[in-house]
């Protein structure tokens, strides 16, 4: 089966490379024979992301997509942050432009996202709390990089977090 990506960032994201523009990313996806590419640039709080400008760029992407070939199929979405347990980054204007939504429960490496404190069990419990926030957000389609390597403390690797989490709660959240 041809590859698919719904987690593609352009230069619009802080982590994106300057040459990773929309048309270039579609061209690479076509070259690599992707059947589908979804753009999910990061959506951060309004003091970090110029949300009206971001929404305008998504509208531009949709217009540009009309001038491209049928392969790969292109979708416009966004990667939204969980800021803390119970608190999502929100932007009605951007939500209105997105065709799908991925949510990061653990961007602890950025200063606007609450970093969990304590031992690995506390970190794992916090991770489940932020996953629950993502699951409960009405727009969420996909939760990306659960138990990621963003807590830089000994004994808090993604595997340590998973081993320490409450498995019955994780099952409840995922089922």
pLDDT score for 93: 96
Q: What CA–CA distance (Å, rounded) separates 161 from 120?
A: 6
Q: What CA–CA distance (Å, rounded) separates 15 from 48?
A: 13
pLDDT score for 69: 77
pLDDT score for 145: 92
144's CB contacts (< 8 A; 6+ apart) are: 7, 79, 102, 103, 104
Alpha helices for the chain (secondary structure H): 22-31, 51-66, 92-97, 120-136, 158-164, 167-174
Q: Global pTM?
A: 0.92
3-state percent helix, strand, coil for the chain, nearest multiple of 5: 35, 20, 45
SS3 for 166?
coil
Q: Which two tokens stand for residue 130?
A: 């932020």
pLDDT tens-digit profile, the chain (175 residues):
889 999 988 888 878 777 888 999 999 999 999 999 999 999 999 999 999 999 999 999 999 998 887 889 999 999 999 999 999 999 999 999 999 999 999 999 999 999 999 999 999 999 999 999 999 999 999 999 999 988 888 899 999 999 999 999 999 999 9
């Amino acid at each position: 089966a041809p590859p698919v990506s719904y987690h593609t960032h352009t230069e619009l994201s802080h982590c994106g490379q300057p040459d990773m523009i929309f048309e270039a990313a579609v061209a690479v996806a076509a070259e690599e024979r992707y059947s589908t590419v979804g753009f999910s640039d990061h959506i951060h709080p309004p003091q970090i992301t110029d949300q009206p400008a971001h929404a305008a760029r998504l509208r531009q992407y949709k217009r540009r997509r009309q001038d491209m070939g049928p392969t790969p199929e292109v979708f416009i979405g966004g990667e939204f942050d969980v800021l803390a347990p119970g608190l999502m980054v929100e932007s009605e204007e951007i939500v209105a432009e997105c065709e799908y939504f991925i949510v990061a429960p653990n961007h602890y490496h950025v200063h606007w996202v609450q970093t969990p404190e304590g031992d690995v069990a506390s970190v794992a419990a916090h991770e489940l709390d932020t996953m629950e926030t993502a699951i409960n957000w009405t727009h969420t389609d996909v939760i990306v990089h659960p138990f990621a390597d963003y807590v830089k403390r000994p004994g808090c690797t993604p595997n340590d977090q998973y081993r320490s989490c409450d498995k019955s709660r994780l099952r409840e959240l995922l089922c």
